[in-house]
Amino acid sequence: MTRPDAQRVAELTAALAAARERLRLACAAADRAADEVELLVVTKFFPASDVLALVDLGCSEFGESREPEAGRKAAEVRAEVSGPVAFDMIGRIQRRKAKSVARWADRVHSIDTDDIAGALDSAATAALDAGERDAPLEVLLQVSLDDAPDRGGVSPVHLEALADRVETFAALHLAGLMVIAPQSGVARDWMARAAEIRAGFLVGHPDASEFSAGMSGDLDEAVAYGSTCVRVGTAIMGSRPILSPKIT
């Protein structure tokens, strides 16, 4: 597959370098090693050719949130690249799409109900049996910081019950937590709240230590509060078409 034109490659090169530098500075400010925080490039709405250009620039982990766009893109990119390229599902999952997600996703950041966890477990079991995957699906539980329904996420009061349920599923591996800070209020306060919830959660689940937090607008605050994976779209890819007021 062709790479994007030279102008787009130059744009991506500059934006990626700036994002990496910003992440490096955020880690330094928080007294953390730069390799403690993974940079997940969110490529939803952007073509596979952009992903290939980013692979050429040394990226190997991408976030997607829309089906069937995500599955198609992952297949196109993997067919083209010899090394491993990870694709994570970071958006809300509809039950009927679980089968497809379990085929292409390395990790899912957005588990927020028993129902979707169960659907993904069945789908991942089938994918393992069929040889379409070779490892359990890594999953993060998305926690709602304000209980607003539109961004998804489990309420902190139901987090333990969901974690217990997920741990009974053989084809899922509980890896950690994910948050999306609400637009309202102060990012630093939301991330402080998220870190508090995570600290409580880690007592019972010390191995589920991944913490997916921080996007283009708030990655610095997220890193200060312990993020191990920032999900960066706009700051690297440019702006997405606006389809709905929700994060899609």
Ligand X SMILES: *Cc1c(COP(=O)(O)O)cnc(C)c1O
Please confirm whether the linkage preceding 241 is cis (ω < 30° from 0): no
Is the CB of residue 247 less than 8 Å from the CB of residue 151? yes
- Minimum CB distance to ligand X, residue 202 (Å): 22
94 binds ligand X per the rule CB under 6 A: no
Min separation Cβ 45 and ligand X, Å: 9
Residues 124, 133 contacting (CB under 8 angstroms): yes
CB 216 within 8 A of CB 23: no
Task: Give the interface segment with ligand X, choosing from 15-23, 30-38, 79-87, 213-221 (CB under 6 A).
Answer: 213-221
Q: Does 60 sit near ligand X (CB under 6 A)?
A: no
234 belongs to the binding site for ligand X (CB under 6 A): yes
Give me the least distance between CB of 82 and ligand X, in Å please. Answer: 28
Instruction: For the CB of residue 199, give the shortest distance to ligand X in the complex, in Å.
Output: 22
- Burial classification of residue 106, based on how many CB atoms lie within 10 Å of its CB (0-12 exposed, 13-18 middle, 19 or more buried): middle
Among 90, 141, 145, 162, binds ligand X (CB under 6 A): 90
Nearest Cα neighbor of 93 from 157, 178, 184 is 178
Measured from the CB atom, the residue of 152 and 201 that comes closer to ligand X is 152
Residues 112-171 that bind ligand X (CB under 6 A): none
C-alpha gyration radius of the chain: 17
**Min dist. Cβ of residue 143 to ligand X (A):** 13
Q: Which is nearer to ligand X, 48 or 180 (CB)?
A: 180
Backbone angles phi, psi at 108, to 5 degrees: -120, 125
By CB under 6 A, is residue 26 in contact with ligand X?
A: no
Helix axes of 159-166 and 187-204: crossing angle, nearest 10 degrees: 50
Binding site for ligand X (CB under 6 A): 42, 44, 65, 90-91, 180, 215-217, 231-235, 247
